[in-house]
A and B are shown apart, each in its own frame.
Chain A
Amino acid sequence: GAGVSQSPSNKVTEKGKDVELRCDPISGHTALYWYRQSLGQGLEFLIYFQGNSAPDKSGLPSDRFSAERTGGSVSTLTIQRTQQEDSAVYLCASSLDRDRTEAFFGQGTRLTVV
């Protein structure tokens, strides 16, 4: 596609429910990132996929968070048993490779846990 696409753009869920956030990276981009942006906070790294390598999961805040990337393309970030502190904008980005190329960001999914 023309850019990184994320869905849904907004999600309101009840505390304790599971949610899935989807990211469609730019075609051909081998690197994919998930970040979280809370109100008044910076960009918190969550997880990084690069080609067929094992993902860097070092930023996932708890075992309620998981992500997968199928076929080296679409990625899904899953949050189980959501908590109010999970409310944030979840951003996905992709880049061409692990070299010095820029990352392109999607518009984000705004998650609100009530």
Chain B
Amino acid sequence: GDSVTQMEGPVTLSEEAFLTINCTYTATGYPSLFWYVQYPGEGLQLLLKATKADDKGSNKGFEATYRKETTSFHLEKGSVQVSDSAVYFCALSDHGGATNKLIFGTGTLLAVQP
């Protein structure tokens, strides 16, 4: 079945460091890919998305490119800030599959230290 695998955390970085959070997926149809973020004490919110191969989603300095050949959607940011500390979830929605439900990875906790 469809699944999402993302790197385990926590990821601890110093401010202004480069961030990569790996995400790979398995899907039977034509998935859209998402990154959601959960800041401390807040609900999940969409960070960025890509709906087809080679699309790049971007928001708040974060980027992720939909790589069909490697079934990946890695999240990157060139210079993290303390305010980026949160849990990041990779997700997919498989439109050609048996169901359209959103499937999430286990989440990666990012802690940015000043």
Contacts and interface: CB of A to CB of B under 8 A. Distances in A.
Interface stretch (B14-22, B44-52, B76-84): B44-52
B70 interface: no
A100 B55 CA distance: 13
A100 B104 contact: no
Give the secondary structure class of B's interface. strand
B102 A93 contact: yes
Contacts of B105: 42
Contacts of B106: 41-42
A103 B104 contact: no
B25 interface: no
B55 to A, nearest CB: 10
Contacts, number: 51
A98 B89 contact: no
A93 B91 CA distance: 14
A99 B96 CA distance: 11
Given A42-B105, A91-B43, 20 more contacts: A42-B89, A42-B104, A42-B106, A45-B101, A45-B102, A48-B100, A48-B101, A50-B100, A91-B44, A93-B44, A93-B102, A98-B95, A99-B95, A102-B46, A103-B46, A103-B102, A104-B46, A105-B43, A105-B45, A107-B42
Interface of A: 31, 33, 35, 41-43, 45, 48, 50, 56, 58, 91, 93, 98-100, 102-108
Kindly list the 10 A-B residue pairs having the minimum CB-CB distance in the complex, ordered from nearest.
A42-B106, A43-B104, A105-B44, A102-B46, A48-B101, A100-B32, A98-B100, A100-B51, A105-B43, A107-B43
